[in-house]
């Protein structure tokens, strides 16, 4: 029988629902224990997912003291990723930590340090890496379908007015939306265009006026190979959630979100109508819909990969360093919007 990785989970709040669903569907995972400082939250999914038989801990250190747990999933609020992650690594567990890796580079560095010291592996849950349409679009780019990329843009538009987090943690000064939510769009652009080298950003605050952070941010970025890009992040906008992304290449354009992909390419036609209008073999751009899947928040794929990498001793798809680069780029956006100065990126922690 295939080996299963025995897992514990820290932080049984709202998003733990999605992680529990994913973990329970994974053939290479066996969830054995849950931990949350809040006793009510700790038990909130017991009936829904029949978890009564698992061990429950209000102090996660008691769970980490067990020898039979190999991997830990950290789903605590953004401000509380560092300590459980460091403690779990130092207790000899591999860790899958929710995005954003952390809200400060001090925290990211401490987590990377603990990974090195412990010899265990840290994965950051940038879940967009498991979205089928994003991966299909990236494959088309890598296959050269749209030629050489010159401009990339992605947006994270998500109305947060009703989701401050169980203790209001999203509505705090240190939890800037571009780090907590916009990291999905930044991570996606990094996968397509590489690590940004320069960032300039602007922000305003007109919708969620009782929140302590800017609710709209735009960042312009320079990437390697003279690619330029833009990220838009709004947490107050009145529209349905989207991560609409456009990638412009010398031979075509891709416009995609988490459920669809459209490709635009030049087409040469000899249709009589175009002949008449534009002359022989007229060139025009055609839209080519590309079939793809829809699986936002694919925790089954993410946890499955986490366990596979543990079983086969391979590198995680989104390592601690990868998570830190995305977090750092987001922090640079906040910094540039605050100071009005361009940030030249310095990846000295890699
Ligand atoms: N990948 C995604 O698309 C996505 C979507 C939603 C949330 N998230 C992330 O998931 C994480 C959790 O978000 P949420 O909405 O579930 O938050 P939440 O507030 O509903 O839950 C967090 C839980 O962590 C517990 N907790 C915090 N510190 C703890 C500690 N030291 N020991 C034990 N328990 C502790 C709290 O008691 C709470 O139950 C956040 O980092 C968030 O950004 C990711």
Same domain, 99 and 162: no
pLDDT of residue 285: 83
C-alpha 80 – ligand 1 centre gap (Å): 8
What's the number of domains the chain is made of? 2
C-alpha–C-alpha distance, residues 89 and 85, integer Å? 6
Which of 126, 56, 123, 129 is CA-nearest to residue 85? 123
Residues with CB under 6 A from ligand 1: 10-16, 35-38, 41, 60, 75-78, 80, 84, 98-99, 125, 127, 165-167, 180, 297
The CATH number covering residue 236 comes to 3.30.360.10
pLDDT of residue 97: 98
Query: Measuring from atom 43 of ligand 1, which residue has the nearest CA?
Result: 78
Same domain, 11 and 23: yes
Q: What are phi and psi of 259, to 5 degrees?
A: -135, -5
Residue 321 belongs to a domain: no
Same domain, 194 and 111: no
Residue 221 belongs to a domain: yes
Query: Measuring from atom 7 of ligand 1, which residue has the nearest CA?
Result: 15
**Residues in the chain, pLDDT under 50:** none
205: number of Cβ within 10 Å:
14
Same domain, 163 and 246: yes
Query: Measuring from atom 38 of ligand 1, which residue has the nearest CA?
Result: 13
C-alpha 308 – ligand 1 centre gap (Å): 24
C-alpha 296 – ligand 1 centre gap (Å): 18
Same domain, 233 and 311: no
Whether 174 and 330 have beta carbons less than 8 Å apart is answered as no
Q: 76, 96, 171: which to mutate for ligand 1, most atoms within 8 A of CB?
A: 76
Query: 3-state class of 268 per DSSP?
Result: strand
Residue 323 belongs to a domain: no
C-alpha 210 – ligand 1 centre gap (Å): 22
Element (H, E) at 122: strand 122-125
Same domain, 108 and 167: no
Domain that holds residue 36: 5-128+298-316
C-alpha–C-alpha distance, residues 308 and 283, integer Å? 48
Residue 93 belongs to a domain: yes
What is the position in ligand 1's atom list of the atom closest to the CA of 12? 39
> How many residues does this entry show for the chain?
350
Helix-then-strand count for the chain, H and E: 12, 15
The CATH number covering residue 31 comes to 3.40.50.720
Residue reference for tokens 């560092």: 82
Residue 69 belongs to a domain: yes
Instruction: Please calculate the CA angle 294-103-198 and round it to the nearest 5 degrees.
Output: 80
- The two beta strands, 216-223 and 94-98, are unpaired
Same domain, 20 and 81: yes
Same domain, 120 and 144: no
Whether 134 and 140 have beta carbons less than 8 Å apart is answered as no
Has this prediction a pTM greater than 0.75?
yes
Same domain, 332 and 307: no
C-alpha 16 – ligand 1 centre gap (Å): 7
C-alpha 200 – ligand 1 centre gap (Å): 30
Residue reference for tokens 């066996």: 30
Same domain, 64 and 90: yes
In order of 63, 288, 329, the CA distances from 332 in angstroms are 36, 36, 5
Same domain, 117 and 145: no
Q: What are phi and psi of 140, to 5 degrees?
A: -60, -40
Residue 106 belongs to a domain: yes
Structure tokens at 282: 């007229």
C-alpha–C-alpha distance, residues 29 and 304, integer Å? 7
| Burial per residue of 150-169, b for 16 or more beta-carbon CB atoms within 10 angstroms, e otherwise | bebbbbbbbbbeeeebeeeb
pLDDT of residue 253: 97
Same domain, 154 and 260: yes
Residue 224 belongs to a domain: yes
pLDDT of residue 277: 66
C-alpha 295 – ligand 1 centre gap (Å): 21
């Amino acid at each position: 029988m295939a080996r299963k990785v025995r897992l514990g989970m820290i932080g049984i709040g709202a998003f733990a629902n999605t992680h529990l669903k994913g973990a329970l569907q994974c053939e290479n995972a066996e969830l054995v224990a849950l931990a949350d400082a809040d006793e009510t939250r700790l038990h909130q999914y017991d009936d829904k997912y029949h978890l009564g038989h698992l061990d429950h801990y209000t102090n996660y250190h008691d769970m980490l003291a067990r020898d039979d747990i190999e991997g830990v999933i950290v789903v605590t609020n953004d401000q509380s990723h560092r300590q459980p992650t460091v403690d779990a690594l130092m207790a000899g567990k591999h860790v899958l930590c929710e995005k954003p890796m952390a809200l400060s580079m001090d925290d990211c560095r401490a987590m990377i340090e603990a990974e090195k010291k412990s010899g265990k592996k840290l994965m950051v849950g940038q879940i967009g890496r498991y979205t089928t349409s994003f991966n299909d679009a990236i494959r088309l780019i890598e296959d050269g379908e749209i030629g050489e990329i010159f401009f990339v843009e992605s947006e994270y538009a998500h109305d947060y007015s009703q989701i401050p987090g169980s203790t209001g943690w999203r509505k705090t000064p240190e939890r800037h939306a571009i780090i907590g939510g916009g990291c999905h769009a930044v991570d996606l652009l990094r996968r397509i265009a590489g690590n940004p080298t320069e960032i300039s950003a602007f922000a305003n605050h007109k919708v969620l006026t009782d929140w302590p952070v800017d609710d709209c941010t735009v960042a312009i970025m320079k990437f390697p190979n003279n690619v330029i890009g833009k990220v838009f992040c709004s947490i107050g906008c009145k529209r349905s959630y989207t991560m609409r992304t456009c990638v412009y290449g010398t031979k075509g354009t891709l416009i995609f979100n988490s459920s669809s992909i459209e490709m635009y390419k030049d087409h040469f036609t000899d249709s009589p109508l175009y002949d008449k209008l534009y002359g022989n073999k007229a060139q025009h751009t055609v839209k080519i819909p590309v079939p793809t899947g829809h699986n936002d928040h694919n925790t089954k794929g993410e946890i499955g990969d986490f366990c596979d990498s543990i079983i086969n001793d391979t590198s995680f798809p989104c390592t601690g360093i990868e998570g830190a680069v995305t977090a750092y780029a987001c922090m640079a956006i906040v910094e540039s919007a605050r100071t009005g100065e361009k940030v030249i990126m310095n990846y000295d922690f890699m």
